[in-house]
A and B are shown apart, each in its own frame.
Chain A
Amino acid sequence: MPQSNGNSTVLKIDGLTKFFGGLRAVHDFDVDIKEGELVGLIGPNGAGKTTIFNMITGIYPVSSGKVVFKDETITDLPAHEVTHLGIGRTFQNIRIFPNLTVLDNVRVAYHPHARYNILDGVLRLGRFGRGEKEMTERAQEFLSVFGLDEYQDTVAANLPYGEQRRMEIARALATEPDLLLLDEPAAGMNPGEIVELMDLIHFIRDRFDLTILLIEHQMRVVMGICEWITVIDFGEIIARGTPEEIQNDPQVIEAYLGSQATRG
């Protein structure tokens, strides 16, 4: 069961259900994430993990159920408003802005915090210069945290894959979230990169005071860094507990871990 260390709840989901036509993708999902936790969400392909992320972030409308973020009901709020409230995310298949430079990718994320409006921009009033400078400096800070300084002017599409992933995380952080949703951050990475990624996730959680919910297929990542894990299969929760408990749960082994658990 989730360990409660006295912190306040950041994300509380209750009875979340999603139908795609007659297909029940997610059924009665609930979770209660406390401040500062690093939580894993795992399950076989097609179990409904990304669907849950899409419902939390307002990309899919919810069929039924409730999502509460920091005491505010965010069910069916448009995606950009969910972001404004403080939920950032990355995507399973990286979604960068391919034609923008790396710096601009991050500056876009900082747009809702821009201190000048469209008129300042068109007329190049004083506020534009100051606001732009501040945005650029903030974005460059994020880039240097992620070791992407040298790529600042590179068009994002030309970035190596691993750097694209890091840039996506940098961009998500630039939205200034309290809760970060990472959708398979280790996908397509080699063992060396995975170790780096795990360090990075720990590092950003401490540096930016984040709560993190993570979807992952790579067992070493999930088992290595998550404090507790929820396992779903066919849209339903089948187990919940610490990594050790999950590894020994017969239902989980049967549904999902089976062969991979012995390998890992």
Chain B
Amino acid sequence: MKIRSIPTWLRAVVFFLVVGVVIQLAFSRGWLTEYWQQIIMLSSILAISALGLNMKYGYAGLFAIGHAAFYGIGAYSSALVTKDWTTQWSGSPVGALAGLVGIEVGFVAAVVTISVLDIGHRRRALRERLEEIVSPFEASVLTTTLTVLVAGAILVVVGGGVGWLARQAVLAALPPLFGGLPAAVSEQLVFLIALIAGSVLAALIGFVVGLPLLNLTYDYLCIATLGFGIITYVFFNNADQLIPTMKGARGMVAIPRLTTWPWILGIFAVALVVMRNLIYSSTGRAILATRDDLTAADTMGINTYQYKILAYSVGCAFAGLAGGLYAHLYAFLHPSNFTWLKSVDPFVMVVFGGVGSMTGTILGAFSFVTLLEGLRVLPAELIEWRYVIYPVILLFVMLFRPQGIMGTNEWGFLKRPKVEGKKPAAGAAATSEVTPSEQPASASDN
């Protein structure tokens, strides 16, 4: 049986399993030092975060700085949940989780209510009717005020109500549910829930930040999101005023060390599949069209603003997910890891690997960490040259391959699925078409 007759998804599964098992063996048998294990795990985590930035910048064309803020939001929020489970800092093992879930569910409920009530269109209709009675300016002021009041009321009543119910439900249901399980299992489950909750929080905050900002373009968007990045950093630095456990500028300690290679690999694989399926769907095409030509995309009937917000939130969710893994890998979080300067790192990975390429982004993340950390093997007197060698490499890549390592190309499973031509002999034509381009993919998969 020829390799290329095996479906791509199956090859991808095999590829992931083989790589995963080999690395796991290398870890447990001690073929790799602790140091290289850390590099591999950190690279994978940063690759997830960089995939999120690739969604924002590569696919949606949003030049948004401040990715590290969402990475930090995911890290801190998930760490608060798991630390609560082990130390009960909030007074209850699931107090933090209940609060987090309450905020998230309440907010989503409010947003869904607002969109179901179709407030945007009602506002238009009301303004048109008011314009017949009062001046256009007065009509605009009146409708805007009314809209804000109604939206605010929905946020408080629906959001608050549903959120409170969700919180109570978690408080009541989770401890007995997890109490019956062995401690090791329940801890892992809490970890998974914490990762998801942290990622969702990052996405929701991205959504809220995106609402006003994503009408901006290019450098304006960059400056505005930079502002958000700085605010978040200042918040982390002073977070102990609000939640003492976050310890502010001293750094949050004693986070359970739960991130293991199988966790990273599993989440990495899921994240990759989600991103690939999303981008190769109609939704993905709408996002790409928004990037390529905003006006034309609008004219094609695509609500570009909505798709920019979607892409931005998904990107933030990836950052939050990676942040959660990071927090439980090092068991220590310090605000300095989430300054706006750290937002440049994923940019370097994406641009180095290839803007708008998942394969490139992953390669970029691995080369970034390997270059920076791997160069520590240099003799002691040369070690400070890392920060010369690495920028020089970047410089040369940008000079001689400005599109990045991969350009917009993809490997194997991440390739754009082929569409059969419309010709009657579609079967025969399609197989002969697929052959040449699929060959490098099968080589990489094995």
Question: What 0/1 pattern do residues 267 to 304 of B give for CB contact below 8 A with A?
Answer: 00000001001100111111011011101111111111
Q: In the docked arrangement, what's the CA distance between A80 and B419, Å?
A: 27
Q: Give chain B's interface secondary structure class.
A: helix
At the interface, yes or no: A124 with Cβ under 8 Å from chain B? Answer: yes
- The interface stretch among A6-14, A127-135, A256-264 is A127-135
Q: In the docked arrangement, what's the CA distance between A116 and B92, Å?
A: 42
At the interface, yes or no: B408 with Cβ under 8 Å from chain A? Answer: yes
At the interface, yes or no: A171 with Cβ under 8 Å from chain B? Answer: yes
Residues on A with C-beta less than 8 A from B298 are 58-59, 78-80, 83
Closest-CB distance, A50 to chain B (whole angstroms): 12
Question: What 0/1 pattern do residues 96 to 110 of A give for CB contact below 8 A with B?
Answer: 111111011101111
At the interface, yes or no: B421 with Cβ under 8 Å from chain A? Answer: yes
Q: In the docked arrangement, what's the CA distance between A83 and B286, Å?
A: 15
At the interface, yes or no: B422 with Cβ under 8 Å from chain A? Answer: yes
Closest-CB distance, A179 to chain B (whole angstroms): 13
Q: Determine whether the beta carbon of A59 is less than 8 Å from that of B297.
A: no
Q: Determine whether the beta carbon of B282 is less than 8 Å from that of A96.
A: no
Q: In the docked arrangement, what's the CA distance between A135 and B278, Å?
A: 16
Which residues in window 13-60 of A have CB below 8 A to B? 57-59
At the interface, yes or no: A154 with Cβ under 8 Å from chain B? Answer: no
Residues on A with C-beta less than 8 A from B419 are 103, 136, 152-153
Knowing A95-B295, A98-B292, the reply to whether A128 touches B303 (Cβ < 8 A) is no
Q: Determine whether the beta carbon of A95 is less than 8 Å from that of B296.
A: yes
Q: Determine whether the beta carbon of A116 is less than 8 Å from that of B282.
A: yes
Q: Determine whether the beta carbon of A79 is less than 8 Å from that of B274.
A: no
Interface size, chain B (Cβ < 8 Å): 34
Q: Determine whether the beta carbon of B422 is less than 8 Å from that of A144.
A: yes
Q: Determine whether the beta carbon of A112 is less than 8 Å from that of B295.
A: no
Closest-CB distance, A73 to chain B (whole angstroms): 8
At the interface, yes or no: A140 with Cβ under 8 Å from chain B? Answer: yes
Residues on A with C-beta less than 8 A from B285 are 100, 104, 107-108, 111
Knowing A108-B289, A152-B421, the reply to whether A121 touches B284 (Cβ < 8 A) is yes
The one of A57, A79, A107, A123 in contact with B282, judged by C-beta atoms closer than 8 angstroms, is A107
Q: In the docked arrangement, what's the CA distance between A110 and B285, Å?
A: 10
Which residues in window 284-341 of B have CB below 8 A to A? 284-286, 288-289, 291-293, 295-304, 310
| Most interface-central of A111, A112, A135, A144 (chain B CB within 10 A) | A111
Closest-CB distance, B57 to chain A (whole angstroms): 14
At the interface, yes or no: A149 with Cβ under 8 Å from chain B? Answer: yes
Question: What 0/1 pattern do residues 111 to 148 of A give for CB contact below 8 A with B?
Answer: 11010111011111000100110011100110110000
The one of A123, A141, A149, A171 in contact with B277, judged by C-beta atoms closer than 8 angstroms, is A123
The one of A73, A111, A123 in contact with B300, judged by C-beta atoms closer than 8 angstroms, is A111
Q: In the docked arrangement, what's the CA distance between A99 and B422, Å?
A: 22
Which residues in window 63-86 of A have CB below 8 A to B? 73, 78-80, 83-84
Which residue on chain B has the smallest CB distance to residue A89? B299
Knowing A80-B301, A107-B282, A111-B282, the reply to whether A95 touches B293 (Cβ < 8 A) is yes
Closest-CB distance, B164 to chain A (whole angstroms): 27
Residues on B with C-beta less than 8 A from A95 are 293, 295-296, 299
Residues on B with C-beta less than 8 A from A97 are 288-289, 292-293, 296-297
Knowing A95-B295, A149-B421, the reply to whether A109 touches B282 (Cβ < 8 A) is no
Closest-CB distance, A65 to chain B (whole angstroms): 13
Q: In the docked arrangement, what's the CA distance between A108 and B274, Å?
A: 20
At the interface, yes or no: A228 with Cβ under 8 Å from chain B? Answer: no
Q: Give chain A's interface secondary structure class.
A: helix
Closest-CB distance, B309 to chain A (whole angstroms): 13
Q: Determine whether the beta carbon of A122 is less than 8 Å from that of B281.
A: yes
Residues on A with C-beta less than 8 A from B297 are 97, 108
Knowing A80-B304, A121-B282, A122-B281, the reply to whether A100 touches B299 (Cβ < 8 A) is no
Q: Determine whether the beta carbon of A96 is less than 8 Å from that of B296.
A: yes
Q: In the docked arrangement, what's the CA distance between A131 and B285, Å?
A: 14
Residues on A with C-beta less than 8 A from B302 are 80, 108, 111-112
Residues on A with C-beta less than 8 A from B128 are 73
Closest-CB distance, A139 to chain B (whole angstroms): 9
| Most interface-central of A98, A108, A120, A171 (chain B CB within 10 A) | A108
Which residue on chain B has the smallest CB distance to residue A108? B289
Q: Determine whether the beta carbon of A132 is less than 8 Å from that of B422.
A: no
| Most interface-central of B128, B285, B423 (chain A CB within 10 A) | B285
Question: What 0/1 pattern do residues 189 to 216 of A give for CB contact below 8 A with B?
Answer: 0000000000000000000000000000
Residues on B with C-beta less than 8 A from A96 are 292-293, 296
Which residue on chain B has the smallest CB distance to residue A121? B281
Q: Determine whether the beta carbon of B422 is less than 8 Å from that of A108.
A: no
Q: In the docked arrangement, what's the CA distance between A203 and B283, Å?
A: 32
Which residue on chain B has the smallest CB distance to residue A83? B301
Closest-CB distance, B68 to chain A (whole angstroms): 26
Residues on B with C-beta less than 8 A from A131 are 282
Q: In the docked arrangement, what's the CA distance between A100 and B408, Å?
A: 11
Q: Determine whether the beta carbon of A128 is less than 8 Å from that of B281.
A: yes
Residues on B with C-beta less than 8 A from A164 are none
Question: What 0/1 pattern do residues 220 to 232 of A give for CB contact below 8 A with B?
Answer: 0000000000000
Q: Determine whether the beta carbon of B300 is less than 8 Å from that of A175.
A: yes
Residues on B with C-beta less than 8 A from A141 are 422
Residues on B with C-beta less than 8 A from A84 are 301
Q: Determine whether the beta carbon of B282 is less than 8 Å from that of A100.
A: no
| Most interface-central of B293, B296, B301 (chain A CB within 10 A) | B301
Which residue on chain B has the smallest CB distance to residue A88? B299
Closest-CB distance, B53 to chain A (whole angstroms): 18
Q: In the docked arrangement, what's the CA distance between A143 and B419, Å?
A: 14
Residues on B with C-beta less than 8 A from A109 are 300-301
Q: In the docked arrangement, what's the CA distance between A111 and B295, Å?
A: 16
Q: In the docked arrangement, what's the CA distance between A169 and B408, Å?
A: 27
Q: Determine whether the beta carbon of A99 is less than 8 Å from that of B303.
A: no
The one of B283, B289, B300, B304 in contact with A118, judged by C-beta atoms closer than 8 angstroms, is B283
| Pairs A–B under 8 Å by Cβ, sample size 10 | A58-B298, A79-B295, A84-B301, A97-B289, A97-B297, A111-B302, A121-B283, A123-B277, A132-B282, A136-B419
The 6 A-B residue pairs whose C-beta atoms are closest, nearest first, are A121-B281, A83-B301, A79-B298, A95-B296, A97-B292, A112-B301
- In the complex, besides A83-B301, A111-B282, 8 extra interface pairs with C-beta distance below 8 angstroms are A83-B299, A99-B291, A104-B285, A116-B281, A121-B282, A122-B274, A132-B282, A152-B422
